[in-house]
Chain A
Amino acid sequence: MSANSTLDIKNKEFILVGLLLVTVAGLAAFFPSLGSNAQGEVDWISLPLVGFPIVVSGILMAFASQESRARKEILAGPIRLATLCFSLIPLAISTALFFDWLIAVDWALGYNEYALESRYHWMESIGVSWHVGMDGLSFPMVWLTTFLVPVTIIMTWEEKNGAVYHPLLLMMGGALIGVFVSLDLFMFYIFWELTLIPMFFLILSWGGKDRRYASQKFFIYTFASSVIMLLGLITLYFLQPAQDASTNPWVGDLTGRSFDIVTILDQANHGNLGDGIFLGMGMQKVLFVLLMIGFLVKLPAVPFHTWLPDAHVQAPTGGSMLLAGVMLKMGAYGMFRLPLALFPDALMHYQHCIMAIGLISLVWGAFVCLGQTNLKKMVAYSSVSHMGVILLGIASMQPIGYAAALFMMFAHGIISPMLFAVCGAFKHHYHSMEIGAMRGMAKFSPFLAVYMMFAWMASLGLPLLAGFVAELMVLLAYWAIYGWWILLPGLALAITATYYLWSMQRTIFEGGDEGQPPATLLGENPPDLTLPENIGMIILAFFTVLFGVFPFIALGMMDDWTVAFFEGVFNRGGI
């Protein structure tokens, strides 16, 4: 330690790069042995997608945390670059998995079947294993996460204290992927809570004026809800039928039960065959509600949504982008993975409740948006509104509605980071978040104005941009089930257009020949976007258009998954 600190800065950076190279080389060297599962196939998930980002970011942060403030400033450059490079590795892997470049992956899976499955013993006494795999539900979210992390890093390239900030984003990505690939409740819960930690620090250390309050509210609120979910998970664990540990190596020696999601889903499916009801109707309802509370808070749905605007307004741009882009989708993902698959009878029982919550989120969120004066708060509430669409898709109980919900998760995962990136750039260059504090932004920052208009239009569901298909499909499914209630989502669509257009009128437009910069700018001439911001925006815009014009790229997989899901869960063995 003492020898290290006497080295001059050049040697420091050298050591840093060397350390990372050693890490990579070590991972690569051990890859075949560490990285192959019981079937002898290479495990492309555990280490490359989950372990690697978390470990590397941990090393980077540990390295930087020893340094003085001045040295951190100097180290920020190489660390940020290294983080970007390392975040591109998972993106490359997940993209390659989609295009079958690494190995041929068959994504046309049956119900409760997973591609790239790998499994290792962890705690044999209680039946915990490290079990990962992906299907049409999780893979799009994994790809989205691996895609968003580098984009976020690029977009917030100039964030202060980058030596810690950027590795935190990388760690966040690893934890999020961990949630999506977990096929074990224990793992799932660990990663679920692990995501809170980087986000908590992102808000606490890089947030706005009320960051303390917001970060704690965010942490405690979501943590409390996931404890309720944990209660449900543990109950579920103990209520599942016991198995003989000698015939099934994956169940616990002591408990005869397993935390394995695949096993539990199998048992539930078996229990739900014919007229059977897994665990009985009463217990299904209880567990369904317990799990749903955890997921609804995360989603978030009205009335559990108030942590979101506070967290978003205070969070730094990068934090907001990942929070809105992926973290909210954890809630929806969890619903599909657990309660909907486990408790179809409870789902049918609560179908209208879910519809009501979704509808309220959608309409209420839209109206609250219209009443906001803070740009970022408005965008945050628009997330609440759009998440309501997902609930409507779920409540429709149709494959098209489910596929729509999945596509909404995906599309909103690309659009909402762009919304928040625009807000962040606005804040960055104009030092203000008030709608109406300035006029004629198109004059000062034409590029920002264009991106803002693009993101706003994408979010209000303009055709040929990613959000439209999802909204259309939800409406299609919705009308068939709920009939004239469709007028309310219709109203929400109109209100959405209203608040977006109104906010544009009062920021981009007007202002006369000279424009009216905000008072917070103190008379300086505002610069337009920086190069990294431009690059990030263009990438996001490109993918918004890509998935809007060619939705089948992602929808094909989602549709296969929903069909298998309906065959497996609702058709009860083909009645």
Chain B
Amino acid sequence: MSETGIITYAVLIPLLPMLAFPVILFLGGIFNGTPGWVKKAREGGLIALTVMGASLALSIMLILEHLHHTGASDIFTWFESSWWNSSTGDIRTDVFGVGIHVDHLTVMLLFVAAFLCFLINVFSIGYMNTDPINDNRNHRFYAEFVLFCSGMLGMVLADSFLWLFIFWEIMGLCSYLLIGFYYERPSAAYAAKKAFLTTKVGDVFLVIGLVMLWNLFDGHLDYAYVFNSANIAAVDPGSLQLALGMMFIGAVGKSAQFPLHVWLPDAMEGPTPVSALIHAATMVNAGLYLVARMFPFFAEADVGSLSTLAIIIACIGGVTAVMAALIAFVQVDIKKVLAYSTMSQLAYIFTGLGAALWLANNGYSEAAVLAMGAALFHLFNHAMAKGMLFMASGSVIHEMHHAHHEVAHHGDGHDDDDFDAQSMENMGGLASKMPIASTAMLVGSMSIIGIPFIGGFWSKEGIIANTWTVAMEEPIFILPALLVLGGAGMTGFYMSRMWFMTFAGKPKSEVAAHVHEQTPWIPIPLVVLTFMSLSAIIFAGMHSTSWLGDYDHGHFMGFFEYIGEELHHVFLNENPFLLMLTYVAIGLSAILGPSFAMALYGGRLDDGEKAKPWVQWAIDLSSKVRRNSHFDNSAWANSGLANSLHQRLHFDAVYDAAMLKLVAGFANITAMIDRVVIDGTIKLIESTSQAASQKVRLITTGSARDYIMMVALGTLGIALLLWGVA
């Protein structure tokens, strides 16, 4: 299977960051605090940047090489093991290998991961190194950061489900370490533990799924074997569906879907680059990648029905999409809004994948490829937009911190330690003060909402359309289809709400009035990603919406022809139902949702403040809408639903109680039984035998003559015995 070309070096893509991990940690441990380390190496940031740059360069070379064909390369045999057939006595040897597998799915995720990791690294150098709270521990951040990137890059490149899982777990470890970066904060320690354990629950099921799959495929987990048509056809579809379902639970945990979603909002305790990393570029996409990887199973013509699993995937996605969007309505922490938005958008992708898998499994192979492409394209758009949103929000928070320091310093001396720099209730009116961040955030929000022609619009329309297409065939799909359609409107509301609360209106605190955009390094990735989101149509033109070229049916069109096709497909669909659907969705997400948000949170900037013209229009529009509508939401804000939304629908409380009462309670009982019953039995034997020996020792008088007597008597007894025997 080995081939030549850049793929033989592809192993370096995850390997370089992995090797950089101990290097940065070690160097940081030695040189920490020295001027050279802080100024020249940026506390390890430049080492990380170099490595990530090399990985990105290699990735791009690999992508260019394998844009239109798959590739594979073996690295080494990890270990071998044997299996005994007890009826025939044959012994089979299973090989667990390590290798690289590149296809179109890999290519897309590799680009997303390598590109965003690099940009977030740039951002981190600006963000982390200028915050005094991080002094002397940034090397730890960069070391964990590169290990995390290594995990993601390795996961997408791995050539078997086993290695996918291994890198998956490495990412889990790093997310634990990074969320707990501010280890001295109890909330961070709690959040880190929660993230690890919640995903671990999913991981256990994933392992079980892998074990089942391994058993079904006679000791193989490598893609080359399990995706072989003959091998898929040979397995029992019911068992296969069960195995894939187990693996899907792992994906649910990793991608924070209902009901294993509770860790993601808490994960905001980590530094903002971590949030961007975990929530946009890498970890949450791992679950999607795993599900997308299952596509060949569903697409195989001879496989039995796996539709149940596809329906479950879509339904979980639909439910999460709406649930997360609802909770996002009431969040005031800017990062938490983004976290719930992430959950919701990932749920869209899951729904899209579910639809694609259903189509594939039911023989609509061409539609399935398009649906798959839409879902993956949404992954791409969401990763770019959400990475940018997190970095922009990080920029806002960072400048808020700076401003807070200034205000506290120059002010009347009252240092307000309870000041929450992440709360949107302290922001407002930042559009003029932070032009780059406000622009980036505007574009990012529009991409997530699905404003026509920008970023996520293309893919989200596709997902909604595909889900409804399936719903026409399969009635159960109407549920996720309705949910994603409704969710689109909700997205419009909460994303707009976030933007207007942050950037429009008058500053809501003294700090917000003193914000300036001044930190170096930070704007670079924002600008780059803004253009990425704006130019999504170009990627669409590069066949992104049907990026799974392996399963493509070979119609390659010219670039502009394809864009025309895409535009026609979206806006002038021949199918009247889909045509109507498009405009309903646009109406909900681009008009209805934002209008409500404008009516509630819009408003003009302070007098004399002027934002950039490409931002100012939104502010003007919002103040116009707000003036013309007298919309009162106080009844809703005090309702029971809003209350439970503030409590995150009580999931966290219930899970915590279950952990503490059920698991820990049971553990305490077992520990007590172990001590009292099991060890108690041993102690009882001990004390009984001691008591018995107290009695027996009375016959030892201590006098030598008695012992001689006993010896004599004993000898006599033996003699008698022998005599008796004789």
- Do A and B share a direct contact in the complex (Cβ within 8 angstroms)? yes
Chain B residues near A512 (CB, 8 Å)? Answer: 184-186
Chain-A contact segment, one of B211-219, B597-605, B698-706 = B211-219
Q: Which of B166, B211, B212, B669 gathers the greatest number of chain A CB atoms within 10 Å?
A: B211
Task: Report A129-173 CB contacts with B as 1/0, cut-off 8 Å.
Answer: 000000000000000000000000000000000000000000000
Return the contact of B207 from the options A475, A498, A559, A574 (Cβ within 8 A): A475
Q: Are A559 and B670 also in contact (CB < 8 A) when A457-B173, A509-B180 are?
A: no
Given the complex, which residues of B lie within 8 Å of A453, measured CB to CB? 177
List 7 other contacts, CB 8 Å, given A473-B81, A510-B183, A556-B79. Answer: A371-B664, A371-B669, A463-B166, A497-B200, A510-B184, A512-B184, A566-B91
> What is the distance, in angstroms, from B107's C-beta to the closest C-beta of chain A?
25
Query: Which residues from B are CB-within-8-Å of A493?
Result: 200, 204, 207
9-residue interface stretch from B191-199, B298-306, B576-584 = B191-199
B228 at the interface (CB under 8 A from A): no
Report the minimum CB–CB distance from A212 to chain B (whole Å). 13
Contact B80 A398 (CB under 8 A): no
Inter-chain CA distance A307–B682, complex, in Å, is 9
| Closest CB in chain A relative to B681 CB, distance in Å | 8
Given contacts A367-B670, A440-B183, A464-B170, contact A575 B89 (CB under 8 A): yes
Segment of B258-266, B453-461, B671-679 in the binding face: B671-679
Find chain B residues with CB under 8 A from A490 CB: 204-205, 207-208
A-B contact pairs, 9 of them (CB 8 A): A306-B674, A371-B670, A398-B83, A440-B183, A457-B173, A490-B204, A497-B197, A501-B196, A509-B192
Is B231 in contact with chain A by the CB < 8 A criterion? no
Q: B residues near A, CB below 8 A?
A: 77-84, 86, 89, 91, 94, 162, 165-167, 169-170, 173, 176-177, 180, 183-186, 188-190, 192-193, 196-197, 200-201, 204-205, 207-208, 211-212, 214-215, 659, 663-664, 666-672, 674, 678-679, 681-682, 686
A486 an interface residue at 8 Å Cβ cutoff?
yes
Say whether A400 faces chain B, with CB atoms less than 8 Å apart. yes
Q: Using CB atoms, name the residue of chain B closest to A453.
A: B177
A399 touches B204 (CB 8 A): no
**A399 in contact with B84 (CB, 8 Å):** yes
* B interface majority secondary structure: helix
For residue B170, which residues in chain A have a CB less than 8 angstroms away from its CB? Answer: 462-464
Closest CB pairs A-B (n = 4)? A371-B671, A509-B189, A370-B667, A399-B82
- Assess whether A508 is in contact with B663, with CB atoms less than 8 Å apart: no
The verdict on A515 contacting chain B, using a C-beta distance below 8 Å, is yes
User: Which chain A residues numbered 439 to 483 have a C-beta less than 8 Å away from chain B?
Assistant: 440, 442-443, 453, 457, 462-464, 468-469, 472-473, 475-476, 478-480
| CA A499 to CA B91, docked complex, whole Å | 39
Give CA–CA (A403, B91) in the complex, Å: 14
Contacts of B190 in A (CB 8 A): 505
Chain A residues whose C-beta falls within 8 Å of the C-beta of B204 in the assembled complex: 490-491, 493-494
Report the minimum CB–CB distance from A346 to chain B (whole Å). 16
* Cα-based distance from A128 to B429 in the complex (angstroms): 92
Q: Is A571 an interface residue (CB 8 A)?
A: yes
Instruction: List chain A residues, Cβ under 8 A from B663.
Output: 370, 495, 498
Contact A502 B211 (CB under 8 A): no
Find chain A residues with CB under 8 A from B214 CB.
476
How far, in angstroms, from A403 to B94 measured CA to CA in the complex? Answer: 13
How many Å lie between the Cα of A443 and that of B182 in the bound state? 11
Q: Which residue of B84, B177, B190, B205 has the most chain A CB atoms within 10 A of its CB atom?
A: B84
Q: Tell me, in angstroms, the Cα distance from A51 to B158 when the chains sit together.
A: 49
Collect the chain B residues with CB atoms within 8 Å of residue A476's CB.
Answer: 81, 211, 214-215
Can you list, as one digit per residue, whether each of A347-390 has a CB less than 8 Å from chain B (1) or not (0)?
00000000000000000100111111000000000000000000
- With A490-B208, A493-B204 already in contact, the answer to whether A559 and B81 are too (CB < 8 A) is yes
Q: Are B79 and A400 in contact (CB under 8 A)?
A: no
Q: Closest CB-CB distance, B557 to chain A, in whole Å? A: 43
CA distance A244 to B682 in the complex (A): 46
CB of A399 within 8 A of CB of B208, answer no
Answer yes or no: A223 CB below 8 A from chain B CBs.
no
Question: How distant is the Cα of A515 from the Cα of B212 in the complex, in angstroms?
Answer: 46
A447's nearest neighbour on chain B, judged by CB, is: B29
A303 touches B678 (CB 8 A): yes
Q: Which residue of A lies closest to B133 (CB)?
A: A513
The answer to whether B189 and A505 have CB atoms under 8 Å apart is yes
Interface size of A by CB at 8 A reads 71
Q: Which of A442, A476, A493, A552 has the most CB of B within 10 A?
A: A476
What is the distance, in angstroms, from B197's C-beta to the closest C-beta of chain A?
Answer: 6
**Inter-chain contact B183/A400, CB cutoff 8 Å:** no
Residue in chain B with minimal CB distance to A548: B166
Interface residues of A in 540-575 (CB under 8 A from B): 551-552, 555-556, 559, 562-563, 566-567, 570-571, 574-575
Nearest chain A residue, comparing its CB with the CB of B204: A490
Q: Which of chain B's residues have a CB closer than 8 A to the CB of A367?
A: 666-667, 670-671
Asked whether, in the complex, the Cβ of B211 is within 8 Å of the Cβ of A306, the reply is no
Q: Which residues of B contact A305 (CB under 8 A)?
A: 678
Beta-carbon contact of A403 and B180 below 8 Å: no
Does residue A58 face the partner (Cβ distance < 8 Å to B)?
no
Q: Which of A307, A368, A457, A498 contacts B670 (CB 8 A)?
A: A368
List A contacts of B167 (CB < 8 A): 463
Please tell me if A397 contacts chain B, counting CB pairs below 8 Å: yes
Determine if A438 is an interface residue (Cβ-Cβ < 8 Å): no
Cβ–Cβ contact A463 & B205, under 8 A:
no
CB-defined contacts of B169 to chain A, threshold 8 Å: 462-463
Query: Inside 8 A of A498's CB, which chain B residues have their CB?
Result: 197, 659, 663
Q: How far is the CA of A574 from the CA of B91 in the complex (A)?
A: 11
Cα-based distance from A399 to B94 in the complex (angstroms) = 11
B682 touches A221 (CB 8 A): yes
Most buried by B among A404, A567, A571: A571
Cβ of A203 < 8 Å from any Cβ of B?
Answer: no
Cross-chain contact of B189 among A369, A495, A510 (Cβ < 8 A): A510
B690 CB to closest chain A CB (Å) equals 11
Asked if A510 meets B84 with Cβ closer than 8 Å, knowing A302-B678, A462-B169, A494-B200, the reply is no
Contact A566 B84 (CB under 8 A): yes
B663 to nearest A CB, angstroms?
7
**Cross-chain contact B184 with A443 (CB below 8 angstroms):** yes
Please tell me if the beta carbons of B184 and A509 are within 8 angstroms of each other in the complex. Answer: yes
Q: Are B211 and A479 in contact (CB under 8 A)?
A: yes
Closest chain B residue to A491, Cβ basis: B204
- A110 contacts partner chain B, Cβ-Cβ < 8 Å: no
**B671 (CB) vs chain A CBs: closest residue:** A371
A507 to B584, CA, bound (A): 55
CA distance A556 to B170 in the complex (A): 25
Q: Give the residues in chain B near A457, CB-CB below 8 Å.
A: 173
- Which A residues are CB-close (under 8 A) to B184? 440, 442-443, 509-513, 515
Partner of A510, one of B185, B196, B669: B185
Shortest distance in angstroms between B142's beta carbon and chain A's nearest beta carbon?
A: 15
